Amino acid sequence: MSLDHRLTPEHEELRRTVEAFAHEVIAPAIGDYYERHAFPYEIVREMGKMGLFGLPFPEEHGGMGGDFLALCLAIEEIARVDSSLAVTLEAGVSLGAMPILRFGTEEQRRQWLPRLCAGEMLAAFGLTEPDCGSDAGGLRTTAVRDGEEWVINGTKSFITNSGTDITGLVTVAAVTGRAEDGAPRISTLLVPVPTPGLTIAPPYSKVGWNCSDTHELSFSDVRVPSANLLGEEGRGYAQFLSLLDEGRIAISALATGLAQGCLDESLRYAAARIAFGRPIGANQAIQFKLADMDARAHTARLAWRDAASRMLAGEPFKKQAAIAKLHSSDVAVTNAREATQIHGGYGFMNEYPVARMWRDAKILEIGEGTSEVQRMLIARELGLAALG
**Distance between CA atoms of 98 and 77, rounded to whole angstroms?**
21
Output the pLDDT for position 3: 57
Total residues belonging to the chain: 388
pLDDT at 143 over 80: yes
Strand partners of residue 178:
184
Average of per-residue pLDDT across 265-292: 97
Q: How confident is the model at residue 134 (pLDDT cuts 50, 70, 90)?
A: low
Read off the amino acid at residue 105: T
Residue 368 falls in the annotated catalytic set: yes
62-68 long-range CB contacts below 8 Å, 24 or more apart?
A: 62/113, 62/114, 62/115, 62/116, 62/117, 62/118, 63/113, 63/117, 64/117, 66/14, 67/312, 68/246, 68/249, 68/250, 68/308, 68/311, 68/312
Output the pLDDT for position 388: 66
Q: How confident is the model at residue 6 (pLDDT cuts 50, 70, 90)?
A: confident
Residue 99, number of CB atoms within 10 A of its CB: 24
Residue 4, number of CB atoms within 10 A of its CB: 7
Helices (H), 50-196: 68-79, 83-90, 98-103, 106-117
> Helices then strands (H, E): number in the chain?
12, 10
User: DSSP for 277-337?
Assistant: TEEGGGSHHHHHHHHHHHHHHHHHHHHHHHHHHHHHTT---HHHHHHHHHHHHHHHHHHHH
Residues sharing a CB contact under 8 Å with residue 302, sequence separation 6 or more, in sequence order: 5
Express each pLDDT in 153-197 by its tens digit.
999 999 999 999 999 999 999 999 988 888 899 999 999 999 999
Strand partners of residue 218:
155, 199
pLDDT at 1 over 60: no
The model carries a pTM of 0.96
Output the pLDDT for position 93: 98
**Distance between CA atoms of 366 and 361, rounded to whole angstroms?**
10
**Distance between CA atoms of 209 and 356, rounded to whole angstroms?**
8
Supply angle C-alpha 54, 37, 261, rounded to 5.
60
Torsion sign, CA atoms 32, 36, 38, 41: negative
> Strands (DSSP E) along the chain, which ranges?
122-126, 142-146, 149-160, 167-178, 184-192, 198-200, 214-225, 229-230, 274-275, 278-279
* Catalytic hit among 46, 368, 372, 381: 368
Torsion sign, CA atoms 8, 14, 18, 19: positive
353, 340 Cβ separation under 8 angstroms: no
Q: Under DSSP, is residue 130 helix (H, G, I), strand (E, B) or coil?
A: coil
- In this structure, the dihedral spanned by the alpha carbons of residues 8, 9, 12 and 17, taken in order and rounded to 10 degrees, is -150
- Domains in the chain, please, with CATH? 9-122 (1.10.540.10), 123-233 (2.40.110.10), 238-387 (1.20.140.10)
Average of per-residue pLDDT across 11-33: 97
